[in-house]
Amino acid sequence: MISAATRVAAVIGDPVRHSLSPLLHNAAYRALGLDWVYVAFEVPAGRAAAALDAAAALGLVGLSVTMPHKADAARRCDVLTPEADRLASVNTVTVLPGGRLEGDSTDGEGFLRSLREAGHDVAGGRVLVLGAGGAARAVAAACERAGAAVTITARRAGAARAAAAAIGVDHAPWDARPGLAAAAAFVVNATPVGMSVPGTPLPPDSLGAGQVYVELIYHPAETAMMAAAAAGGAQVVGGLGMLVHQAALQVERWTGLAAPLGPMREAAARALAAR
Ligand code: NAP
């Protein structure tokens, strides 16, 4: 029951209508017995700073930030965590006492937690990241911080070079990816190939035993590349774990409580199965 005491958190983005964040967060707040609610605000490009100011003025708990606002939100926050500062990107805004705004980026740590949950540790291993967008940068930075040797490759050489330089990791030509994949312990798909773009981001027979293929796509639950990698003997990790863990880190930051991962995962999986 929403009352005058109910605390409010929200996601801002455009588009935002299909976001799973409200389901994930509200499942968490329910499981934790909190009088909190999480809603979605469709905020057009260029209005992120105004939305962050409004969140502070209204006393919101915090905001999740998605496309196209992550860089603008980083510029507006009063203080950034080292991760958000390194990426110049914020997916989590916490309204601090007094209304100051703290920006964090939980995608990279969410990625590492999802791998750990699946029994994998990137430390000391070679990681090949396919793509050079926001998710690729977050994953590459987190893996580098965790002690992996990271290479970014993307179809536009300049984008791969810029992403690698910003984070301090290697980059390689897109055409070299089958050979690089064969030599990697972990291959991470941070492109939409397999979701909105049909096909596989690598030749299907690129991966085999002793390797881990990590898909950031969470819908479909199994992409063509996941099926091909598994058929070749590789272990596969889907994108749902990262989605759940990046939200769980927000829940933990805002509530100070351990996130209820089971109810959050169930809420997301139920919604995805119905799509
Ligand atoms: P983004 O910033 O748009 O970056 C996408 C990257 O993929 C860019 O490097 C882009 O290259 C490349 N790309 C696009 N189409 C391609 C194609 N046909 N062939 C090769 N490369 C292509 O997107 P993002 O936010 O980083 O997200 C990337 C993926 O990760 C998406 O599938 C998204 O759903 C997923 N994701 C999952 C989670 C999770 O929690 N599981 C979180 C964030 C993102 P160009 O610049 O040349 O277009």
Per-block average pLDDT, block size 10, for the chain (275 residues)?
A: 96 96 98 98 98 98 97 98 95 97 98 98 98 96 98 98 96 97 98 93 97 96 97 98 98 98 97 92
Cα distance between residue 198 and residue 210, in whole Å? 27
Residue 242 beta carbon below 6 angstroms from any ligand 1 atom: yes
Catalytically annotated residue among 70, 137, 245, 253: 70
Cα distance between residue 238 and residue 163, in whole Å? 23
Cα distance between residue 177 and residue 181, in whole Å? 6
Beta carbons of 251 and 26 less than 8 angstroms apart: no
Considering only CA atoms, which residue is closest to atom 13 of ligand 1? 191
Cα distance between residue 213 and residue 216, in whole Å? 10
Residue 93 beta carbon below 6 angstroms from any ligand 1 atom: no
pTM above 0.85, yes or no: yes
The first and second tokens of residue 82, run together, are: 């080292």
Q: What is the pLDDT of residue 220?
A: 93
The first and second tokens of residue 61, run together, are: 């708990």
Q: Cα(106) to centroid of ligand 1, in Å?
A: 17
Ligand 1, residue 240: give the atom nearest the CA.
41
Residue 239 beta carbon below 6 angstroms from any ligand 1 atom: yes
Domains of the chain: 7-105+246-273 (3.40.50.10860), 108-238 (3.40.50.720)
Residue 130 beta carbon below 6 angstroms from any ligand 1 atom: no
